[in-house]
Amino acid sequence: MEKYNHEYSANQIQVLEGLEAVRKRPGMYIGSVSIRGLHHLVYEIVDNCVDEALAGYCTAIEVKIEPGNIISVEDNGRGIPIDIHPKTHISAAETVYTVLHAGGKFGGDSGYKVSGGLHGVGASVVNALSEWLEVQIQRDGGLYQMKFERGKTVQALTKIGDSDKTGTKVRFFADDTIFETLNYDYEILEDRFREIAFLTKGLKISIEDLREETPKKAEFCYEGGLRSFVEYLNKNKEKVNPEPIYLEKDNGDVPVEVSLQYTTSYNENIYTFVNNINTVEGGTHLEGFKRALTKVFNEYARSHSIIKEKDANLQGEDIREGLTAVVSVKVKDPQFEGQTKTKLGNSNVTGIVQAIVVDGLSTFLEENPNIAKAILEKCVSASRAREAARKARELVRKKNSLEVTTLPGKLADCSSKNADECEVYIVEGDSAGGSAKQGRDRRTQAILPLWGKMLNVEKSRADKIYNNDKLKPVIQAIGAGIGADFDVNKIRYGKVVIMADADVDGAHIRTLLLTFFFRYMRPLIEQGHVFLAQPPLYKVSKKGIKDVYCYTDEELDEQLAKIGRDNVSIQRYKGLGEMNPEQLWETTMDPANRIFVRVTMDDAMKADEIFTVLMGDEIEPRREFIEKNAKFVKNLDI
Nearest-approach distance from CB 233 to ligand 28F, in angstroms? 29
Per the annotation, the verdict on 602 as an active-site residue is: no
Per the annotation, the verdict on 83 as an active-site residue is: no
The single residue of 238, 503, 557, 582 carrying the catalytic annotation is 503
Contacts with ligand 28F by CB under 6 A: the residue count is 18
Nearest-approach distance from CB 108 to ligand 28F, in angstroms? 12
Query: Is 215 a residue that touches ligand 28F (CB under 6 A)?
Result: no
Cβ proximity to ligand 28F: between 44 and 423 the closer is: 44
Q: For residue 220, what are the β-bridge partners? A: 205
Nearest-approach distance from CB 148 to ligand 28F, in angstroms? 14
Cβ proximity to ligand 28F: between 78 and 227 the closer is: 78
Closest CA to 138 of 168, 159, 171, 158: 168
Q: For residue 62, what are the β-bridge partners? A: 74, 206
The single residue of 505, 547, 602, 618 carrying the catalytic annotation is 505
Site for ligand 28F in 550-589 (CB under 6 A): none
Nearest-approach distance from CB 169 to ligand 28F, in angstroms? 6
602: which residues sit within 8 A by CB, 6+ positions away? 637
Helix 226-233 × helix 604-615 angle, to 10°: 40
Check if the beta carbon of residue 611 is closer than 8 Å to that of residue 600.
Answer: no
Check if the beta carbon of residue 22 is closer than 8 Å to that of residue 100.
Answer: yes
Tell which one of 33, 45, 356, 599 touches ligand 28F (CB under 6 A): 45
Check if the beta carbon of residue 82 is closer than 8 Å to that of residue 93.
Answer: yes
Tell which one of 15, 19, 33, 49 touches ligand 28F (CB under 6 A): 49
Cβ proximity to ligand 28F: between 136 and 265 the closer is: 136
Site for ligand 28F in 91-120 (CB under 6 A): 92, 96, 106, 112
Tell which one of 62, 75, 231, 318 touches ligand 28F (CB under 6 A): 75
Check if the beta carbon of residue 113 is closer than 8 Å to that of residue 53.
Answer: no
Query: Is 52 a residue that touches ligand 28F (CB under 6 A)?
Result: yes
Number of Cβ atoms within 10 Å of the Cβ of 371:
17
The single residue of 501, 526, 586, 608 carrying the catalytic annotation is 501
CA distances from 374 to 7, 240, 262, 264, 571 (A): 71, 7, 9, 11, 58
Helix 226-233 × helix 186-199 angle, to 10°: 130
Q: For residue 241, what are the β-bridge partners? A: none
- Note the maximum CA span of the chain: 92
Query: Is 382 a residue that touches ligand 28F (CB under 6 A)?
Result: no
Q: For residue 606, what are the β-bridge partners? A: none
Nearest-approach distance from CB 278 to ligand 28F, in angstroms? 22
Query: Is 386 a residue that touches ligand 28F (CB under 6 A)?
Result: no
Number of Cβ atoms within 10 Å of the Cβ of 512:
24
62: which residues sit within 8 A by CB, 6+ positions away? 72, 73, 74, 75, 206, 208
The whole-angstrom separation of Cα 440 and Cα 405 is 24
Cβ proximity to ligand 28F: between 73 and 319 the closer is: 73
Residue span binding ligand 28F (CB under 6 A) among the ranges 36-44, 69-77, 486-494, 567-575: 69-77
4: which residues sit within 8 A by CB, 6+ positions away? none
Query: Is 48 a residue that touches ligand 28F (CB under 6 A)?
Result: yes
Per the annotation, the verdict on 501 as an active-site residue is: yes
Q: Binding pattern to ligand 28F, positions 156-175, x when CB under 6 A?
A: ------------xxx-----
Cβ proximity to ligand 28F: between 63 and 471 the closer is: 63
The whole-angstrom separation of Cα 341 and Cα 165 is 40
Cβ proximity to ligand 28F: between 128 and 478 the closer is: 128
Cβ proximity to ligand 28F: between 77 and 244 the closer is: 77
Residues forming the site for ligand 28F (CB under 6 A): 45, 48-49, 52, 73-75, 77-78, 80-81, 92, 96, 106, 112, 168-170
Q: Catalytic amino acids? A: 428, 501, 503, 505
